[in-house]
Amino acid sequence: IEWTQSIRELVGGHDNQEIISIDGKTSRCSHDRRKGKNPLHMVSAWASEQGLLLGQISTEEKSNEIKAIPRLLGMIDIKGAIVTTDAMGCQKDIAASIVKQEGDYILTLKDNQPTLADNLKAIFVLGEKTQYKNMHHLQKIEKVKAHGRIEKRRYTLISSKQDTEFQARWPGLKSIGMLEVKRTINYETTHAVRYFLTSLPYQQIDDFMRGVRKHWNIEINLHWSLDVSFADDLNRTRVGQAAENLSIVKRIALNLLKQDKSTNIGITAKRKKAGWDNLYLKKIIA
């Protein structure tokens, strides 16, 4: 982790706040039914702006992410960054850990916390009915056309002062957010709404939008890369700590390969090139 932090400093220099996405991944074939051993589940922290894995920690299963996330946050420097989580990470203790380390957060809220979700939805229902009259808020619309689909995304960010009970219960809370997505594929339109708690003030709606968008980079740039380039989901290593050790080594290798900009080829091709070309291998690990 200290090595990764030093690399993070070297490749820094972007103007935006770093987006650190927290999410877990299960290596599905690492279980051992005969011994009653669950598959390995790793919770990772991904720096989206720099394309770096900052740290990871193993858990027994996905349900243990709630306890693992504060431990992972304590291992990395999040000062000045925006930390994003899925619904599993929408916890007061996690919000408190982020604020204590001088970071900001965007926490996804879903129906796994029904009372909290219903209360937040009610605020936005009222806002829609009154056109957000007397509410401190900002709205922005984003239109995206790519890969055969058309998306219209409407972001709304309301000051948490609209509900002092929310603000009192959640450390550092400044705004509540909503993302409404209308997606059209082959002339069929679907509609989805997501809700968020964030320590960003509503005036920082651009940072909120960027954080929501970039949270899913961890799925594409880390989890998908591990499965496609390292066959992580197919790995059946399960003796002792071997699965965890191999998982860590894969992530270190992925970090090294992603930082190489000398050739415009994919991660799998870079792995093969490093195996064939000792000079390239030396360049990667030096």
- Neighbouring-strand partners of residue 197: 107, 176
| Residue 48 three-state SS | coil
Is the predicted pLDDT of residue 259 greater than 60, yes or no? yes
Q: What is the DSSP letter of 239?
A: S
- Confidence label for 190 from pLDDT (cuts 50, 70 and 90): very high
Out of 34-43, 124-133, 216-225, 267-276, which region has the weakest mean confidence (pLDDT)? Answer: 34-43
Report the pLDDT averaged over residues 137-150.
Answer: 90
Class of the CATH domain delimited by 110-202: mainly beta
Structural Rg of the chain based on CA atoms: 21
Can you read off the two tokens belonging to residue 278? 């000792």
The number of residues making up the chain comes to: 286
pLDDT at 27: 58
Can you read off the two tokens belonging to residue 228? 């496609």
Report the pLDDT averaged over residues 154-178.
Answer: 88
Contact 176, 135 (CB under 8 A): no
Burial class (CB in 10 A: 0-12, 13-18, 19+), 6: exposed
pLDDT at 244: 66
pTM (2 decimals)?
0.82
pLDDT at 138: 96
pLDDT at 32: 52
For residues 60-82, b (16+ Cβ closer than 10 Å) or e, as one string?
Answer: eebebbbebbbebbeebbbeebb
Q: What is the mean pLDDT of the chain?
A: 83
Cα dihedral 25, 43, 212, 101 in deg (nearest 10): 180
Report the pLDDT averaged over residues 262-271.
Answer: 86
CATH 2.20.130.10 residue ranges in the chain? Answer: 110-202
Report the pLDDT averaged over residues 162-191.
Answer: 88
- Confidence label for 100 from pLDDT (cuts 50, 70 and 90): very high
pLDDT at 9: 54
Question: Which spans in the chain are helix H?
Answer: 2-10, 65-73, 92-100, 114-130, 164-169, 205-214, 217, 225-230, 242-259, 267-276, 278-285
pLDDT at 85: 94
Is the predicted pLDDT of residue 62 greater than 60, yes or no? no
Out of 61-65, 86-90, 230-234, 238-242, which region has the weakest mean confidence (pLDDT)? Answer: 238-242
Rounded to an integer, what distance in angstroms lies between the CA atom of residue 157 and that of residue 208?
A: 8
Report the pLDDT averaged over residues 109-129.
Answer: 91
Contact 81, 106 (CB under 8 A): no
